[in-house]
Structure 1
Amino acid sequence: MASLLQAFLDPRKNWLAKQHMKSVSSRLRRYGLRYDDLYDPYYDLDIKEALKRLPREVVDARNQRLKRAMDLSLKHEYLSDDLQVYYLLIY
């Protein structure tokens, strides 16, 4: 049953899951975030371990994106379109 649910939620196997991922990614891009930034290291120990193994620069960039997104959200603002494209290209 769990494997069926995982297959249903996997964007590589399910067209609806892929469309949902694209929709969420486009909304996150307004804040300069990536879809992978949504994973919470406190909720999943695998994510916590993966973040430990990443280079320090990658983890710092992720933390900076999260801080910027919180700041923009509190101000009820979005990144400008040119910055959204810029951050999309460098990440």
Structure 2
Amino acid sequence: MLSKFSAWFVNPRRNPLARLHRNAVASRLRKYGLRYDDLYDPYHDLDIKEALARLPREVVDARNQRLKRAMDLSMKHQYLPDDVQVRIPCSSL
């Protein structure tokens, strides 16, 4: 019973509160030029590590560049300009 509830509770496709939280986090990440999927840590989960290993090299390089840019902007206490921020539809998150 508890596992079904917890699966529903954290699933943004089923729970509107989880969807609102995901969208709020995604909008804050967009200020640094990040995507929601960039938060997944390959050292924490072996499935993420394997998925990144299967991606094309240019996709992994773009992810690494986004992470470096976000760290640089965070240390400078700046955001990306509005015209540079990429708008990603919520359905792709």
Q: TM-score if structure 2 supplies the norm length? A: 0.89
Q: Secondary structure at the match of 2:38?
A: helix
In terms of fraction of residues, the more helix-rich structure is 1
1:12-91 to 2 correspondence within 5 Å? 12-84=13-85, 87-88=86-87
- RMSD value over aligned CA atoms? 1.1
Structure 1 residue 6: deviation in Å?
1.9
- Superposed CA deviations along residues 2-35 of structure 1, whole A, max 9, x for unmatched, are 3431221010010000000000000000000000
- Superposed CA deviations along residues 37-74 of structure 1, whole A, max 9, x for unmatched, are 00000111110000000000100000000000000000
The structure 1 segments of at least 4 consecutive aligned residues displaced by more than 2 Å after TM superposition are: 1-4
Q: TM-score if structure 1 supplies the norm length? A: 0.91
Q: What are structure 1's unaligned runs of at least 5 residues?
A: none
How many aligned positions are there? 87
Q: What are structure 2's unaligned runs of at least 5 residues?
A: 89-93
